[in-house]
Structures are given as C-alpha cells and as structure tokens.
Amino acid sequence: MKAFAYVNPTSEREAVAALKTDGIAMLLGGGQDLLARMKDYIDSPDRVVNVKGLDATVTATPDGGLKIGSAVKIISLFEHAQVAKLYPAVVHAAGEVGTPQIRHQGTVGGNVNQRPRCWYYRNEEFVCYKKGGSRCFAVNGENQYHAIFGNDGPSHIVHPSSLAVPFVAYGAKFRVLGPNGEREIAAADFFTMPTLQNVLKENVLEDEDILTHVILPAPGNVKSGHYEVRYKQSHDWPLAFTTVVLTMNGTTISSARVVLGAVAPIPWRSRAAEAALVGKPLNEQTAAAAGEAAVTEAKPMSGNAYKVQIAKTAVKRAIMQAAGLKTA
C-alpha cells in the first residue's frame, strides 16, 4: 500500500475542505471497501479523510420521517426500533449485509458509496473502463454475477449496495455537502448508469462532495416487502433482491415502487412490475404477474441468464411478504 496522509476532521465542513488537494483524496468510513482497494492497488490516495466522526445519529424529521447520518453503522440501522417500525425493508436489507463483523464496521455512507465488486475491477491486472481502460472484460469473460438489466455498457456491473435499494424504494433523499454548499438529491437520481463520459463513477458525487445524510420521508399508508436471494446464505452478496413499497387503498394497490438490486449498474426500478400492480388486489396472483412483468426487459449476458428467474422470484416474494403471505 502506498504511504498516505491521514486527516481526522471534526466537522462536515472540515471534511469537505480536507478533500481539496493537488493529489488524490478519499473518504474513509468503516474502511472495509476503501482499505481493501488500497491494499490491492486499485486506488492509491495521497490523503485519506476519516468521516466516521461525522453524524452517527438517526433523528426524526418534522414531517414524520427519519434523517440518518452517513456515519451510522449498518448494525445500528438494523437495531433501530423506529427504522424498523417505519421502514422495515431498510432493516431487512441492513440485517442481510455480509456478516456481523461487516455490519458492525460498515457505515451507511460507505455502503451506499462502495465501489463495484466486479472481479475484473478488483484485480489490478485488468485495466477496464472503470479504471481508465478501453474495454470491459466481462463482455466476453466471466459474467455470471453481472447485470441482466441496463446492459448497454460500457460497464456491466451490478451496483453493490444493499441499502441503496430500499432507500430508492422509500423515496429517500441524499444530503450532499460540497465546496459550494449543500444540496439534496433524490436517491433515484443519485446513482448513474455508465456512459463513456462517467464510467469512472457510479453516482453524481463530485470529487470534493460528501454524502452526509439519508433523509427518508414519512412512509404514509404503505406496505413494504424485501426479499434477497444468495448462493450461500452465510455471507455472500445477493444474486438478486427486491424492495417493494405499496400504497394501499383498502385492499387495492393504488401505487407501487418496485426496485431490484444486484441486477443492474444502479438500483433498478421496474416500471413494468409497478404497472402490473396498480389497481390490483394484493394477493399471490398479482405478485406472480408482477414478477413476470419485472423481467420482460431483462437482457442477460452470456453467463447469467439464470439470474432472470431469480429476479422474477425475488419480486414475487417481496410482494407476498408485503401482503403478509408465506414465501416458502
């Protein structure tokens, strides 16, 4: 690992100021992703700015929602009674991240901003688009864990954050602080599909920006469900998963958000599944129809067509969970 300067700011503003340098500065949350990348020579920052000392609280907002500091640990989110009451899918997602050690170390800001797990990206030998190269090794290579939606390229990653998916589904906003002040960005607009111009990043953050908070609106009269499928249940990343948030009018679904994870370069909102739900009763038949609809636009790669069935099942079971029906 290359030698680096370490900065321990005491405020958000100090943290932003510390990112201004002639060299490369990077933020450190729990460090599980950043330090691994540094040890593998994927990133070699000149300065590491610790943001674990920033806001690590969950507070109520005036509109009945919650504001989550980016330094909140994943385990704290998982154990938070008010988060469980208002946003059960967030707690469910937090509880399935990695292992207890990972949940105790990882932060909300680090989880949302963690870099792709694509094995070509994680290997210093492969200089792909995401590392400034001019090809994607997954296209003709080992792509069994890559995207099945949004596969126009140039990169075919799946976004690695489990928390991002329920955040998008519940309509969260992300508060960002940069040199020109603060701004709020809808979670759905935070993550970016890869293009040749922006392929080095997965979101709209500029080099001197920090994600400071996730702001969840009051959920209203909704039912939500969250279902993840893994190869090994113990500590794998999911193969596909879904959060659904359904607004109910009596027993009828009046509006729906269906967001899939581990299937696309961003948390993937399925408008087709949502259309299949609106105006329908919440039951197993509706859930199955939405699962079918969700995968109509899937374009798997050479080695990951098996994920289509898994994504379909994850959508169906998340909806059944929202309905309080047994999923297995």
Ligand X SMILES: Cc1cc2nc3c(=O)[nH]c(=O)nc-3n(C[C@H](O)[C@H](O)[C@H](O)COP(=O)(O)OP(=O)(O)OC[C@H]3O[C@@H](n4cnc5c(N)ncnc54)[C@H](O)[C@@H]3O)c2cc1C
What residue ranges bind ligand SF4 (CB under 6 A)? 116, 118, 120-121, 128-130, 136-138, 146, 155-157
Beta carbon of residue 157, minimum distance to ligand SF4 (angstroms, whole number): 5
Name the residue nearer to ligand SF4 (CB basis): 152 or 184: 152
Determine the Cα–Cα distance for residues 51 and 122; give it in Å rounded to an integer. Answer: 24
If binding is defined by CB under 6 A, does position 51 make contact with ligand X?
yes
Residue 202 binds which entry of ligand SF4, ligand X, none, with Cβ cut-offs from 5 to 8 Å by kind?
none
247: exposed, middle or buried (Cβ count in 10 Å: 0-12, 13-18, 19+): middle
Look at residue 102 and give the partner it binds from ligand X, ligand SF4, none, a contact being a CB closer than 5 to 8 Å depending on partner kind: ligand X
| Least distance in angstroms from the C-beta of 34 to ligand X | 4
Is there binding between residue 76 and ligand X (CB under 6 A)? no
- Which string of x and - marks every residue 54-73 that binds ligand X (by CB under 6 A)? ----------------x---
Contact partner, 120, from ligand X, ligand SF4, none, Cβ < 5-8 Å per class = ligand SF4
Which two tokens mark 105? Answer: 């170390």
Q: How far is CA 45 from CA 36, 70, 269, in A?
A: 13, 21, 34
Quick one: what does residue 110 bind among ligand X, ligand SF4, none, with the CB cut-off 5 to 8 Å set by partner type? Answer: ligand X
Q: Total number of residues binding ligand X (CB under 6 A)? A: 33
**CA quadruple 282, 287, 293, 294: dihedral positive or negative?**
positive
The interface partner of residue 70, options being ligand X, ligand SF4, none and the CB cut-off 5 to 8 Å by kind, is ligand X
Binding partner at 156 among ligand SF4, ligand X, none, C-beta below 5 to 8 Å by kind: ligand SF4
Outline where DSSP puts E strands in the chain. 5-7, 25-28, 47-50, 58-60, 66-69, 173-178, 181-186, 210-216, 222-230, 238-249, 252-261, 268-269
CA within 13 Å, CB half, 243: 28
Contacted entry of ligand SF4, ligand X, none for residue 105, CB cut-off 5 to 8 Å set by kind: ligand X
| Cross-sheet strand order for the sheet of 252-261 | 222-230, 238-249, 252-261, 268-269
Match 């879904």 to its residue by tokens.
Answer: 242
Contacts of 46 (CB under 8 A, 6+ apart): 4, 5, 21, 23, 24, 25
Q: Where are the alpha helices (DSSP H) in the chain?
A: 12-18, 34-39, 74-78, 81-86, 88-96, 100-105, 108-113, 164-169, 187-190, 271-277, 284-294, 306-322
Taking residues 22 to 41 in sequence order and writing x for each that binds ligand X by CB under 6 A, - otherwise, the string is ----xxxxxxxxx-------
Q: Draw the binding track, 190-229, toward ligand X (x: CB under 6 A; -: no contact).
A: ---------------x----xx------------------
The contact set with ligand X (CB under 6 A) reads: 26-34, 51, 70, 96-98, 102, 105-107, 109-111, 113-115, 160-162, 205, 210-211, 235, 237-238
